Amino acid sequence: MAQREIPYKIYLEESEMPRNWYNVRADMTKKPAPLLDPDTCKPITAEALGKVFCEELVKQELDDTNRYIPIPEEILNFYKMYRPAPLVRAYCLEKKLGTPAHIYYKFEGNNTSGSHKLNSAIAQAYYAKEQGLVGVTTETGAGQWGTALSMACSYFGLDCKVFMVKSSYELKPFRREVMRTYGASVTPSPSDTTRVGRQILEEFPGTTGSLGCAISEAVEAATERDGYRYVLGSVLSQVMLHQSVIGMETKAALDKYGVKADVIIGCAGGGSNLGGLIAPFMGEKLRGEADYHFIAVEPESCPSLSRGKYVYDYCDTGRVCPLAKMYTLGSGFIPAATHAGGLRYHGMSSTLSELYDEGLMEARTVKQTEVFAAAEYFARIEGILPAPESSHAIKVAMDEAIKCKETGEEKVIVFGLTGTGYFDMMSYEKFHDGKMIDYVPTDEEIAQGLSKIPNIEG
């Protein structure tokens, strides 16, 4: 059997690395709905977007027709410092589970940001530099995006201002120091350094923050400074585009060994990893060339796809960003302070939302205690200490593999292992000490979040 020759880790050669990003929107018959201008509630113009984002990124944001976007040479060279990422055959996990399934994971944690976030950070920093900007601002949840962006900015000599969700800032003190090593400044959000931050603090005193709040602050900090733009690590279509490098490499690695995936699983916060991982596979599905079972794994505490509505909503709590049509719990929904800060976002990529709405993928929620149990199990078997976010995908991949054991199916399960958990040891400690609590929003909490969504036709 061909499978017997598959190594533990499939590394592509540099020459086999993708030279293009893949734009899944080009293959969608029904395109994701356009972003709306928060002032007019009409489709936003490139000009208006250009006040917030870099020019070239605005083009990418609005481009739903070009299937392949060439990766600039300088970005390719940076990619070569930490990519290709290995596609790992989880032989040890398969054996331990006693499953006939073949489990693969695309491991994106082998770089200092500790996650896949660097794939888009370097692209966004590159375009900012090309445009002659002084610096960029951003938000970060778990800290992975902020670290990635500070690395990318350091590489291109850009200033980098990071607003970090307060709960993560407190849980991950060393993250700040990594960003500082790369020359970034880091502010816990909500903060009193912005108008919107002060408003949020007034409305929700004692809040531990959310990605939505931090985005509002970062946008304000960018638009009120000359030579700055705002950059975002998830949700946007440009980010899905850059992250498609994950899926492109995964597909190239599988193709190299003649392996066809059956189930493809990713954790879903704003959608950056999931969107990137599934992109080329979804393209095949959209073109009718192949079928795959896609699973988006959400935390039970923040179930945008599973319990949200597919409507236009603000991308940020402060309502300063464009509106997107997406699955959302409402921009006023502040998720419980769980240990997967990177998944605490009220909405979901509009591309993924549309694909989900068309029934092209499944969404599933998991509890954080079962996620940490899966994480520890995985760490002991496969060696890698996973980030809590990534471990959502591990949990469901294990569930699927166990199902295969019951049915005897030799399914090929592929999941995204987006990052490492070195900066999550306080969370692991809580888990070890039995002090971790599962948060499930009540129907009233969900309803309250949804009730604040503006009523806009999409």
Residues contributing to the site for a second copy (CB under 8 A): 7-9, 11, 13-14, 77, 80-82, 88, 91-92, 110-112, 114, 151, 154-155, 173-174, 177-178, 180-183, 376, 379-385, 420, 422-423, 425-426, 428-429, 432
Phi, psi of 20 (to 5 degrees): -130, 150
| CA distance linking residue 366 with residue 230, whole number of Å | 32
Return all residues near 412 (Cβ < 8 A) that are at least 6 apart: 101, 102, 104, 259, 260, 261, 262, 263
| CA distance linking residue 331 with residue 244, whole number of Å | 27
Please, what's the b/e burial string for 122-137 (b: 16 or more CB within 10 A of its CB; e: otherwise)?
A: bbbbbbbbeeebebbb
- Residue 136 CB, nearest approach to a second copy (Å): 17
DSSP label at residue 100: S
- Residue 197 CB, nearest approach to a second copy (Å): 25
Residue 49 or 178: the one with the smaller Cβ distance to a second copy is 178
Residue 154 or 369: the one with the smaller Cβ distance to a second copy is 154
- Residue 110 CB, nearest approach to a second copy (Å): 5
Residue 24 or 152: the one with the smaller Cβ distance to a second copy is 152
Residue 165's H or E segment, with its range, is strand 159-165
- Helix axis angle for 368-382 and 388-407, nearest 10°, is 80
- Residue 117 CB, nearest approach to a second copy (Å): 13
| CA distance linking residue 115 with residue 134, whole number of Å | 26
| CA-to-CA dists, residue 49 to 13, 44, 215, 426, angstroms | 38, 7, 15, 39
Residue 219 or 375: the one with the smaller Cβ distance to a second copy is 375
Residue 174 or 291: the one with the smaller Cβ distance to a second copy is 174
- Residue 185 CB, nearest approach to a second copy (Å): 12
| CA distance linking residue 94 with residue 97, whole number of Å | 5
Residue 111 or 208: the one with the smaller Cβ distance to a second copy is 111
| Residues linked to residue 21 through DSSP beta bridges, in sequence order | 69
- Residue 232 CB, nearest approach to a second copy (Å): 22
Residue 275 or 341: the one with the smaller Cβ distance to a second copy is 341
Q: Where are the alpha helices (H) located in 50-113, listed in sequence order?
A: 55-62, 73-82, 91-97
- Residue 369 CB, nearest approach to a second copy (Å): 15
Residue 154 or 223: the one with the smaller Cβ distance to a second copy is 154
| CA distance linking residue 143 with residue 235, whole number of Å | 16
- Residue 267 CB, nearest approach to a second copy (Å): 19
